[in-house]
């Protein structure tokens, strides 16, 4: 068991605490394995009626995955990156189908891998500290960990907007969009955890009792522009709509999109379009694993990590560098199912 993950049982509740504060609890393969082992152990444990996921200390719940490792592996044979995705996606799926209530505390930065931990949970707690985003297109990746499932099911075209722009949401916005089930003041989290641990069967009443009315959700004021200008599943159409609109808002979003990888913006749009039709979450994760196994070894991801995370010159040289340059044939290659012996499979849980 890695010390980057702390697990314990308090009262009738299993607790998983992310404990890698120097990296804002960014996930590693051993961390995902440790969480999976704890969750698997508690499924049939009669002493555990619910599970809580939080972070031990520091300013964020979880900033994502170990991006440097993924890029280093992607530049080589990609094996370590594929192992990480395989294990992480099994954890995401396990949380989605988990038979006992899971309560995730999205207090602070909740991005990438942190979204993958919180969104499959039955209860998702936002606070005034929550900063939620899927910023992957900025580094040539795509909104994985189930993003194709969760983002495609948000109201209107908000999911597509978030996937393309990487826009950050606060706790009130998460609650308004249904990404969070409850909005609590951060000062009430300790009480919430204590009460849930003692009486997990009362989790609904406890969270309702401690919830407060969130502030106004700013994104709701932009819904009309988002739904109108991000209406198409064709990236060129979205760029053209923003260009033609001519408003300050559209100019700002166009400028944001100009920094993103055209390849992974197109991947994200297709991912959400197909994700909305997926028969179940396992099918979504199977497709995302195939996409991830390929994208992690492609130029844009390795270049994006170089530009934004390693050298930090913030000047990635995307290839192709235009939306038109990203062909349907290239996307078909990225989305093609993997051979059966390489494909992702959900965890088999002995019952």
- Catalytically annotated residues: 65, 113, 136, 144
HSE-CB at 342 with a 13 A cutoff on CA atoms is 14
Q: Do residues 200 and 101 make contact, with C-beta atoms less than 8 angstroms apart?
A: yes
Q: How many whole angstroms separate alpha carbon 80 and alpha carbon 204?
A: 40
Instruction: Give residue for tokens 């849980």.
Output: 349
3-class SS string, the chain: CCCCEEEEEECCEEEEEECCHHHCCCECHHHHHHHHHHHHHHHCCCCCCEEEEEECCCCEEECCECHHHHHHHHHCCCHHHHHHHHHHHHHHHHHHHCCCCEEEEECCEEECHHHHHHCCCCEEEECCCCEEECCHHHHCCCCCCCHHHHHHHCCCCHHHHHHHHCCCEEHHHHHHHCCCCEECCHHHHHHHHHHHHHCHHHHHHHHHHHCCCCCCCHHHHHHHHHHHHCCCCCHHHHHHHHHHHCCHHHHHHHHHHCCCCHHHHHHHHHHHHHHCCCCCHHHHHHHHHHHHHHHCCCHHHHHHHHHHHHCCCCCCCCCCCCCCCCCHHHHHHHHCCCCHHHCCCCCCCCC
HSE-CB at 251 with a 13 A cutoff on CA atoms is 3
Strand order in the sheet with 123-126: 5-10, 13-18, 50-55, 102-106, 123-126, 182-183
């Amino acid at each position: 068991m890695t010390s980057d993950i702390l697990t314990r049982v308090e009262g009738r509740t299993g607790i998983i605490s992310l404990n890698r504060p120097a990296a804002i609890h960014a996930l590693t393969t051993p961390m995902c394995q440790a969480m999976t082992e704890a969750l698997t152990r508690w499924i049939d444990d009669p002493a555990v009626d619910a599970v809580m996921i939080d972070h031990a200390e520091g300013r964020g719940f979880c900033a994502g995955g170990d991006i440097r490792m993924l890029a280093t592996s992607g530049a080589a044979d990609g094996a370590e990156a594929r192992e990480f995705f395989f294990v992480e996606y099994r954890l995401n799926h396990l949380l989605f189908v988990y038979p006992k209530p899971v309560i995730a505390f999205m207090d602070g930065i909740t991005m990438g891998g942190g979204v993958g931990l919180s969104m499959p949970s039955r209860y998702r707690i936002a606070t005034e500290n929550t900063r939620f985003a899927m910023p992957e297109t900025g580094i040539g990746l795509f909104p994985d960990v189930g993003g194709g499932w969760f983002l495609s099911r948000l109201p209107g075209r908000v999911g597509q907007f978030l996937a393309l722009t990487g826009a950050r949401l606060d706790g009130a916005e998460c609650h308004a969009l249904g990404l969070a089930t409850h909005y609590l003041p951060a000062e009430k989290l300790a009480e919430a955890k204590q009460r849930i641990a003692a009486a997990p069967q009362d989790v609904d009443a406890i969270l309702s009792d401690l919830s407060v009315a969130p502030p106004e959700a700013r994104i709701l004021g932009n819904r009309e522009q988002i739904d109108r200008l991000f209406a198409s599943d064709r990236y060129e159409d979205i760029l053209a709509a923003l260009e033609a609109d001519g408003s300050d808002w559209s100019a700002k979003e166009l400028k944001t999109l100009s920094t993103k990888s055209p390849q992974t913006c197109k991947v994200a749009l297709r991912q959400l379009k197909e994700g909305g039709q997926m028969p179940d979450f396992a099918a979504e994760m199977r497709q995302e694993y195939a996409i991830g196994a390929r994208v992690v070894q492609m130029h844009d991801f390795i270049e994006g990590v170089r530009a934004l995370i390693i050298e930090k010159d913030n000047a990635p040289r995307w290839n192709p560098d235009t939306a038109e340059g990203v062909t349907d044939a290239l996307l078909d290659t990225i989305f093609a199912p993997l051979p059966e012996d390489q494909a992702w499979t959900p965890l088999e849980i002995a019952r």
